[in-house]
Chain A
């Protein structure tokens, strides 16, 4: 189980890495979404916003979510540090999403471009 701070660190690292990647920023400039990231074992929600190619993160559930990602904190930190593709836990049911399946493919693409 990750700590709350580790959860926040993984999202901030993800957002920062997106910002530093100009090409990725251009690729996702039209993918504007609000994502709520729910860590089931921490009873914690964080928000990830993609807007005009810029990715930011904030604590708490901010705004209306286009997609809710729900998993335990270990899985979520691994996903946002690029250690695991979100498709894998999504496939075996340990990561659940509410929202369009297409968005999990886009999120996976962003992670692939950043970390792989």
Chain B
């Protein structure tokens, strides 16, 4: 039995333990929230180091990949360095592979079309998904300035996201992560600005981080599709009650929850069996295909 634990800066209310069989191996996959307390997360990573097969780091990234740029989130890197034996994964490898293929699948099924209007609440952390939408000719609004910084200005080009990445490359090393992204209880807090509701209303599909989508979601999103990650029963209920037509989660369903990309990446890394520094995109792609991961679709029937 392989044991993979996601230590998350997110709320404890999202914790779960699941057993799953992946590639013929039995896994215990669990998620432990720390309510935004980085010191608790660090202590937990130290306690798990050397005792589990891989650790996922949730609620914070270590790396962002934007075009040819690798951005390092200082707070995330420092947390990951608390483990010296067990690999710590943040999901960036899966975001760059699985999330692209999920968009391809949505195009094949006709749910995403070349003229679909997409709101990605944030693209800096999911550039692979953003590129996939653009590749298929979708009209994209990237809400990084709107929903992360609080400035009512829509970005529409990948080059603008790349520019933003360049501007923030140095800053992300030192900026306290909680200033950029809700952690702990703040994840559960609604902060929907009525001024920004139009971005949701104008879109056919709303994509990106689930916490960010829910945090800024207006009361009604009738008929919209959602492409996101890490859904729980509660978040699925919120999407359904707001009138969403369907939700595509980019990670597979584990008996009612979709694990974070960090947890699933940590599981895959134990199967790849290479040191993390030697793992390439092709390794992820190989195992994604081998495991038959194609995201998980829930159709609410709302139109």
- Residues in chain A within 8 A of chain B (CB atoms): 26-31, 85, 87-88, 90-91, 101-102, 104-106, 108-109, 112-113, 116
Contact = CB atoms under 8 A, between A and B. Distances in A.
A85 B149 contact: no
Contacts of A109: 145, 149, 151
Interface in B152-172: 152-153, 166-168, 170-171
Interface string B241-255: 000000000000000
Nearest to B169: A116
Which of B145, B149, B195 counts the most A-chain CB atoms under 10 A from its CB?
A: B149
Interface string B169-184: 0110011100110000
B150 interface: yes
Contacts of B145: 27, 109
Contact of A85 (B151, B152, B171): B171
Nearest to A87: B175
Interface in B116-133: none
User: Dominant SS at the A interface?
Assistant: helix
A107 to B, nearest CB: 10
Contacts of A29: 152
9 shortest interchain CB distances as A-B pairs: A27-B153, A112-B167, A87-B175, A30-B152, A116-B167, A85-B171, A88-B174, A109-B149, A105-B179
Contacts of A27: 145, 151, 153
Given A27-B145, A28-B151, A87-B174, 20 more contacts: A26-B153, A30-B151, A31-B150, A85-B170, A85-B175, A88-B174, A90-B176, A91-B174, A91-B175, A91-B176, A102-B150, A104-B179, A105-B150, A105-B179, A106-B149, A106-B151, A108-B171, A109-B149, A109-B151, A116-B167
A35 B150 CA distance: 17
26 contacts: A30-B151, A30-B152, A30-B195, A31-B150, A85-B170, A85-B175, A87-B171, A87-B175, A87-B179, A90-B176, A91-B174, A91-B176, A101-B179, A104-B179, A105-B149, A105-B150, A105-B180, A106-B150, A106-B151, A108-B171, A109-B145, A109-B149, A109-B151, A112-B167, A113-B167, A116-B171
Contacts of B168: 112
A106 B151 CA distance: 8
A101 B179 CA distance: 7
A105 B62 CA distance: 20
Interface size of B as a range: 10 to 19
A116 B176 CA distance: 19
A60 to B, nearest CB: 28
Interface in B166-222: 166-168, 170-171, 174-176, 179-180, 195
A74 B175 CA distance: 20
Contacts of B180: 105
A106 B174 CA distance: 16
A108 B180 CA distance: 11
Contacts of A31: 150-151
Nearest to B148: A105
Contacts of A101: 179
Which of B145, B174, B180 counts the most A-chain CB atoms under 10 A from its CB?
A: B174
A87 B176 contact: yes
A108 B151 contact: no
Given A27-B145, A101-B179, A105-B180, A85 B174 contact: yes
Contacts of A91: 174-176
A109 to B, nearest CB: 5
B119 to A, nearest CB: 18
A31 B175 CA distance: 21
